[in-house]
Amino acid sequence: MSTMPPMGGDLSRLRQLNALTVIKTLRGAEAATLSALAERTGLSRPSTKEVIDELSAMGWVEEVPPAPGTMGRPARRYRFRADGGHLMGIDIGAYHIRAALADLDGDLLAETRRPAHPDAPIEDRLAAIEQAAAACLGLGGLTMADLWTVAVGTTGVVNSDGRVILSASIPAWRDLDLEGLLGEMFPCRVLVENDSRLAALAETRRGVARDARDVVFLHIGRRMGTGLIIDGRLHRGFGAAAGEIVMLPETGWREGPEDLNNAAVVPEGLPPEDAAGFTLAAARNGDPTALEAVERFADKLAVGTAAAVLLLDPEIVVLGGGFSRSADVLLPPLRSRLERVCLRMPKLSGSTLGDECVVLGAIDYAIEHLDQLFFAPDAPALRPPVRPATTPARPDPA
Amino acid sequence: MSTMPPMGGDLSRLRQLNALTVIKTLRGAEAATLSALAERTGLSRPSTKEVIDELSAMGWVEEVPPAPGTMGRPARRYRFRADGGHLMGIDIGAYHIRAALADLDGDLLAETRRPAHPDAPIEDRLAAIEQAAAACLGLGGLTMADLWTVAVGTTGVVNSDGRVILSASIPAWRDLDLEGLLGEMFPCRVLVENDSRLAALAETRRGVARDARDVVFLHIGRRMGTGLIIDGRLHRGFGAAAGEIVMLPETGWREGPEDLNNAAVVPEGLPPEDAAGFTLAAARNGDPTALEAVERFADKLAVGTAAAVLLLDPEIVVLGGGFSRSADVLLPPLRSRLERVCLRMPKLSGSTLGDECVVLGAIDYAIEHLDQLFFAPDAPALRPPVRPATTPARPDPA
DNA sequence: GAGAGTTATAGAGGAGACCATCATTAGTAC
DNA sequence: GTACTAATGATGGTCTCCTCTATAACTCTC
């Protein structure tokens, strides 16, 4: 109860709140007429008009041609200018870099990939990131100067300052000030987050868990991780270390993937990154050895999942990550195990966003950040759409 | 994004918001002068005055004599009328019923206890509840009609409708519409919640976890349970089944207390409810057998706790429940185990509220409910302080 | 193709809520 | 008893919202 967010205030504050309501109503939805807006916001028509005029003058809103073929005088239509700003999401994996460019609605404008190697030195990975970002901007016909925010998802434990503490799959990613390094690459605010958390966000914003308030996202693949959405918000925890149930020995999650990688069905020369996929495919075809491996894996998977479900009682559990392509194989054994211990069974689904999960989540994360900056009820004042200043004033690197 | 809470609106809406800010500023704090209020709310003096007059007329606020001994003209002082309404918290345990009466500030006016027996039939327990409540009202010089809300904490799994699904320690508490039954006893809204959750709330509102945003509360005693505070709010989960990590076999929490109850040090004739306390006391005095039992118990305790800590990364873990009187014995072994697996160690403390934890939490829960009803930004309008109508219109029982 | 019907726009007048300012009042300090 | 201090109470101005009415633009029907 230290300092409250002053909800009320001035007359101008009322106008600000109303402008915010109008913007929020306009976002996501397609172009809307004045009357529709007035009804949805609860404001009177004249007031709505005045607010819209103000927003148009600022550049947040633009008029679009009226819809033809309607009775009566055609209504002017307005829509949120999603192209007022741009943001980028980047997924830094062990074997790939992925970048995507989006507008303020979160709609993708361009997307690029670069291969990577887990053991590549830091400089190489950073160079690949820069290339992917530049290519992506090129595809979208934009430059660095157009970027408002860059959100980055990466493997590993990321603390609240955007520092990567350690990463099991990228050895070089260890006690690394990634946010600082990327802050020198991009002329805007850079946010760094754990990739599982961003994937969880994407699934709740536009994936299979859309509109769920409590979501447990399981990243299952070469490494295991979880992302939690609680009460509709990404849960980071006090030290931004939430979701690291992998560390609990009793779950067996650290060795878990080995059950699939080292299954007897896997042929000799197969590259290690394809081993688990092979086992899962074999299990789908009924191979008994593969099925046994899957059962062993599911045993472990179920322990950590049950812990999360029993603690949080989520509406839905989403299976994501590389192995989620085989969700059809994994879900039934997981479900039967959970049913044995869970008080209330949550919904259980495979990810629908697949490989794009993390970039999309990064974009959603960037949008959330910008929303907070511009459109939160406790934001300073409604500014015209210009790129927000980067928080840490950074002099030219010598 | 279905329907938004319209944050802005009318001029009267602005007044409502400002009145709410003033009330929130006044709550908790002692009597304040107009200038102090104006400064803290950000409103001008004249406006603050007008709001205060309105609130006084409604009965939410009252004037108190000015503070003497001050320079200049003495300022009029106002305070929130905590005695405008009353609420009751009830703790239904296996061996006891506890009731407490409080004002709108959550300050206790009276408190009573009644013994109970785990195997008592439902009617007996309900009768004991009624007695405890009546006695409590008598002590406070109030009647049923003065009660605005009654919040009840009970052992067992409680669903969102206030129905007790099952309780390990009260066999008769099984598929029981407790909220409905108590709704016939009290002429006001009755809320039923799991007792561990309420204890967690009390510790966050007025206990050792005050002001922490993410809290894991461990109820350790004859039965085990957890209560989670996430982002400052009580986490219930989609089906109100959150916190039931006891159900996970890998934690060993169900059998956990037996380690202490059946320790070899416990003398023959000791009543079973005192056994664990004896073992813990013996361990404090260095008895090796008792210490070994404590270690075994801590092994189990640590598994479930680590699961919660790794998943949620709370700021603090609070040990409550019957065994928490021996927190000094339990904390060190628990801490050393957690340090082995946790990425970031949370603070670790014993409960400071002790036996009163659940009643206090119930009162805090009731206050939260009333705040939502009266003082939330999206509440319908600022009403004068009268008891809110009971939601389910209930005819006289025939 | 003109008139009726429909729906949106534009503008004026009024009410409510906030703020700034100033003279007044009720105490303390010397 | 006078000077100083700090809060009170009242006045006028500004801003934002609402209601209401006249006007404009387009479709449908005859």
Beta carbons of B241 and A311 less than 8 Å apart: no
**Would you say residue A106 lies in a domain?**
yes
- Cα of B13 to nearest chain A Cα, Å: 9
A343-389 per-position pLDDT tens digit: 899 999 999 998 899 999 999 999 999 999 999 888 888 888 888 87
Q: Which residue is nearest to nucleotide D24 (CA to C1')?
A: A73
Distance from C-alpha of A331 to C-alpha of A93, rounded to nearest angstrom: 25
**Would you say residue A220 lies in a domain?**
yes
* B220 in the same domain as B179: no
Nearest to B341 among A41, A43, A247 (CB): A247
Q: Which nucleotide is nearest to B36 (CA to C1')?
A: D7
* A122 in the same domain as A47: no
**Looking at strand D, which nucleotides approach a protein CB closer than 7 A?**
4-12, 14-20, 24-28
What are the tokens at B294?
Answer: 């404590």
Find out whether A239 and B313 touch, Cβ atoms under 8 Å.
yes
Rounded to 5°, angle at Cα B315 from B312 and B320: 90
Position of tokens 């689904």?
Answer: A349
**Would you say residue B126 lies in a domain?**
yes
**Would you say residue B397 lies in a domain?**
no
Position of tokens 């409960």?
Answer: B351
Give the distance, in angstroms, between the CA of residue B371 and the centroid of all CA atoms in the same chain.
14
Distance from C-alpha of A223 to C-alpha of A173, rounded to nearest angstrom: 15
Strand order in the sheet with B164-166: B157-158, B164-166, B174-176
* B109 in the same domain as B73: no
The CATH number for A321's domain is 3.30.420.40
Q: How far is CA B5 from CA A259, A367, B101, B377, in A?
A: 49, 20, 34, 9
Residue A158 confidence (pLDDT): 92
The CATH number for A55's domain is 1.10.10.10
* A217 in the same domain as A346: yes
Residue A386 Cβ < 7 Å to strand D: no
pLDDT band at A216 (very low <50, low <70, confident <90, very high): very high
Sequence-distant (≥ 6) Cβ neighbours of residue B198 within 8 angstroms:
B89, B91, B151, B153, B227, B357, B358, B361, B362, B364, B365
- Cα of B155 to nearest chain A Cα, Å: 15
* A108 in the same domain as A19: no
Count Cβ atoms below 10 Å from residue A160 Cβ, excluding itself: 11
Q: Where do the H-state alpha helices sit in B71-194? A: 122-140, 178-185
**Looking at strand C, which nucleotides approach a protein CB closer than 7 A?**
5-12, 15-21, 25-29
Distance from C-alpha of A27 to C-alpha of A374, rounded to nearest angstrom: 13
**Would you say residue B383 lies in a domain?**
no
**Would you say residue A245 lies in a domain?**
yes
* B313 in the same domain as B177: no
A310-354 per-position pLDDT tens digit: 999 999 999 998 888 888 989 999 999 999 999 899 999 999 998
The phi and psi torsions of B37 (rounded to 5 degrees) equal -60, -45
Beta carbons of A21 and B4 less than 8 Å apart: yes
- Rounding to the nearest 10 degrees, give the CA dihedral for residues B379, B380, B383, B387: -70
**Would you say residue B381 lies in a domain?**
no
Distance from C-alpha of B208 to C-alpha of B227, rounded to nearest angstrom: 15
* Residue of A285, A288, A290, A286 lying closest to A265 (CA atoms): A290
Beta carbons of B244 and A28 less than 8 Å apart: no
Read off the amino acid at residue B331.
Answer: L
Residue B46 Cβ < 7 Å to strand D: yes
Q: Which residue is nearest to nucleotide C17 (CA to C1')?
A: B11
With CA atoms as reference, the chain B residue closest to A3 would be B40
**Would you say residue B154 lies in a domain?**
yes
* B220 in the same domain as B347: yes
What are the tokens at B103?
Answer: 């004002």
* A170 in the same domain as A289: no
Residues with CB under 7 A from strand C: A 8-11, 33-35, 45-46, 49, 70-76; B 11-12, 14-15, 18, 42-47, 50-51, 68-74
The conformation of residue A59, written as its DSSP 8-state character, comes to T
398 residues of chain B, pLDDT tens digit each: 434 556 778 899 999 999 999 999 999 788 899 999 999 999 999 999 999 999 999 999 999 888 777 787 888 999 999 998 999 999 999 889 999 999 999 999 999 999 999 888 999 999 999 999 999 999 999 999 999 999 999 998 999 999 999 888 898 898 999 999 999 999 999 999 999 999 999 999 999 999 999 999 999 988 899 999 999 999 999 999 999 999 999 998 888 777 777 777 777 777 777 778 888 888 888 888 888 888 989 999 999 999 999 999 999 999 998 888 888 989 999 999 999 999 899 999 999 998 899 999 999 999 999 999 999 888 888 888 888 876 543 333 33
Residue B47 Cβ < 7 Å to strand D: no
Find out whether B190 and B152 touch, Cβ atoms under 8 Å.
yes
* A224 in the same domain as A314: yes
* A136 in the same domain as A271: no
* B138 in the same domain as B40: no
For residue B362, the enclosing domain spans 84-199+357-375
With CA atoms as reference, the chain A residue closest to B241 would be A313
What is the residue-wise DSSP string for A101-122?
EEETT--EEEEEEEE--TT--H
Distance from C-alpha of B390 to C-alpha of B372, rounded to nearest angstrom: 15
Beta carbons of B313 and A238 less than 8 Å apart: yes
Query: Cβ contacts (< 8 Å) between B233 and chain A: which residues?
Result: 231
* A223 in the same domain as A114: no
Between strands B96-103 and B108-115, the pairing is antiparallel
A148-179 per-position pLDDT tens digit: 999 999 998 999 999 999 888 898 888 999 99
Question: Could you tell me how many helices (H) and strands (E) chain B has, helices first?
Answer: 11, 16
Residue A327 Cβ < 7 Å to strand D: no
Beta carbons of B244 and A311 less than 8 Å apart: yes
The domain total for chain A is: 3
Distance from C-alpha of A348 to C-alpha of A339, rounded to nearest angstrom: 11
Sequence-distant (≥ 6) Cβ neighbours of residue A242 within 8 angstroms:
A228, A235, A236, B311, B312, B313
